[in-house]
């Protein structure tokens, strides 16, 4: 989708530090890390937010979770643990309107909301 920051990252029009890529999913380091390790995992399909997923996306969403665990294993933080966050919409604090999963790791995370 034009004018979408993350679609531009997928197309390589904006550079990113890639962590993982396949035909459906891209993962890259967040530009403004909120933890020692902060990775964003996104579908290559432009989906605006969690509120916009459709039944056809079920497999893709499952795959993203498998990719998250693969990254955790490869980057060595699977054992110590990590947090996965999806901000959705205005009240959820979503700033980039392309569905993304934040992976935070590398320290004992504080400020638990739930």
Applying CB under 6 A, which residues contact ligand 5GP? 5, 14, 16, 28-32, 40, 87, 93-96
Cα–Cα nearest to 105, from 89, 83, 73 = 83
The contact mask relative to Zn ion for 75-114 (x = CB under 5 A, - = no) is -----------------------x----------------
46 part of the interface to Zn ion, by CB under 5 A: yes
1 part of the interface to Zn ion, by CB under 5 A: yes
46 interface partner picked from Zn ion, ligand 5GP, none, CB below 5 to 8 A per type: Zn ion
Q: With CB under 5 A as the contact rule, which of the stretches 7-15, 73-81, 83-91, 103-111 interacts with Zn ion? A: 7-15
95 neighbors 5 (Cβ within 8 angstroms): no
Q: Going by C-beta distance under 8 Å and a sequence separation of 6 or more, which residues neighbour residue 51?
A: 88, 89
Total of chain residues touching Zn ion, rule CB under 5 A: 6
* Number of helical (H) and strand (E) elements in the chain, helices listed first: 3, 5
Quick check: helix, strand or coil at residue 16? coil
> CA–CA separation, 54 vs 46, rounded Å?
12
Shortest Å, Cβ 16 to ligand 5GP: 5
Shortest Å, Cβ 84 to ligand 5GP: 12
> CA–CA separation, 10 vs 8, rounded Å?
5
């Amino acid at each position: 989708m034009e004018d979408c920051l993350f679609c531009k990252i997928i197309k390589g029009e904006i550079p990113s530090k890639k962590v993982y890529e396949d035909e459906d999913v891209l993962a890259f380091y967040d530009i403004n890390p909120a933890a020692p390790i902060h990775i964003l995992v996104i579908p290559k399909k432009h989906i605006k937010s969690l509120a916009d997923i459709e039944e056809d996306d079920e497999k893709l969403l499952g795959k993203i979770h498998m990719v998250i665990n693969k990254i955790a294993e490869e980057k060595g933080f699977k054992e110590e643990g990590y947090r996965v966050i999806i901000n959705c919409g205005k009240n959820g604090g979503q700033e980039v309107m392309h569905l993304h999963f934040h992976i935070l790791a590398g320290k004992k995370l504080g400020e638990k909301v739930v």
